[in-house]
Amino acid sequence: MADPRAILDAVECRSVSPVFVGRAGELDTLHGALARAGAGLPQAVLIGGEAGVGKTRLVEEFTAAAARRGAVVAAGGCVDTGADALPFTPFVSALRALRRALPEDFAAAAVGREDELARLLPEAGPQPDTPRTGRHGEEGTARLYELTARLLERTAARHTVVLALEDLHWADASTRHLLSYLLRTPHTGRLLILAAYRSDMPRRHPLRPLLAELDRLRGVRHLRLPRFTRRRPPAGSPASWAPHRTPPSSTRSSNAATATPSSSRNSPSPPASNAAPA
Ligand SMILES: Nc1ncnc2c1ncn2[C@@H]1O[C@H](COP(=O)(O)OP(=O)(O)OP(=O)(O)O)[C@@H](O)[C@H]1O
Ligand SMILES: [Mg+2]
């Protein structure tokens, strides 16, 4: 009988480094934002890059370092559920994590508004029985945005909070609107909002107009993660390090950090060959 291990030879190998390499410029930007947030200036950083480029890993490495420095990390990701993405999914997870990490601050921040908050977090209190449709529905949604903003602001009054939202390319409209509201509305608090998304989206993807809108906001920074390539491996990487995906030559990009104030840059041009998320 043939050696069953031979079957593994046919499996495509993805080289994954257990060591985090490169991304020094991006980490500098994130730590700078963390320091400003800790000083009471709310910050926001968008992190874009094509599938597999290392967005999650960067967020994980950074948030682990931020947590070691005493920040509270509340993370939530969007889920690929097709056309009917669940409303507010990443905010629900992140607020839940925040409530677990800072129960007293969270309760004090939510006091008197528990029933409205229950629309996002059912465990926060009894659900309000006001209708969700028509004008009342719109007013309720506006109040929910406002409530979330104040909740974050107050919970982040004493502790630095990093709200890390992942996979925004799968966000539903309510998540996009709430993110837009949070980043457009002036607020206070030791809050850093990170929002990561895949840049290889179709041209008409609904996240694109939001990114363009956010790009015009002062104070929102935008990191666009370039791929590592065999020719240009990350600084300090071991000789054996290999990228998990080799790009076509026409789309190779520099591995220099590309953090710039968002207002001064053009929108990304994703490689047409890459499959786009829905
Ligand atoms: N700077 C890095 N150093 C070492 N390994 C890395 C680095 N960046 C990414 N990786 C590894 O590459 C793989 C893909 O990275 P990751 O999951 O972060 O990509 P992604 O951009 O979040 O992808 P997706 O769009 O599918 O969510 C992971 O195994 C990750 O650990
Ligand atoms: Mg990811």
Domains of the chain: 20-80+159-229+253-263 (3.40.50.300)
Q: What is the pLDDT of residue 228?
A: 84
Shortest CA distance to 193 belongs to which of 208, 210, 207, 181? 181
* 160 burial type by CB count under 10 A (0-12 exposed, 13-18 middle, 19+ buried): buried
Whether 224 has a pLDDT exceeding 90, the answer reads yes
Least confident span in 90-104, 187-201, 215-229, 262-276: 262-276
Q: Ligand 1 pocket by C-beta < 6 Å: which residues?
A: 16-17, 20-23, 49, 51-57, 198, 244
Query: Which protein residues have their CB within 5 A of the ion that is ligand 2?
Result: 55-56
Q: What is the pLDDT of residue 64?
A: 97
**Residue 174 C-alpha to ligand 1 middle, in angstroms?**
27
Atom of ligand 1 nearest to the CA of 166: 27
**Residue 55 C-alpha to ligand 1 middle, in angstroms?**
6
Shortest CA distance to 22 belongs to which of 260, 244, 227? 227
Whether 149 has a pLDDT exceeding 60, the answer reads yes
For 17-49, letters b (16+ CB in 10 Å) and e give beeebbbeebbebbeebbeebbeeebbbbbbbb
* Mean pLDDT calculated for residue range 12-21: 68
Least confident span in 7-11, 189-193, 216-220: 7-11
**Residue 12 C-alpha to ligand 2 middle, in angstroms?**
20
Whether 3 has a pLDDT exceeding 70, the answer reads no
pTM confidence score = 0.80
Tell me which residue has its CA closest to atom 23 in ligand 1: 52
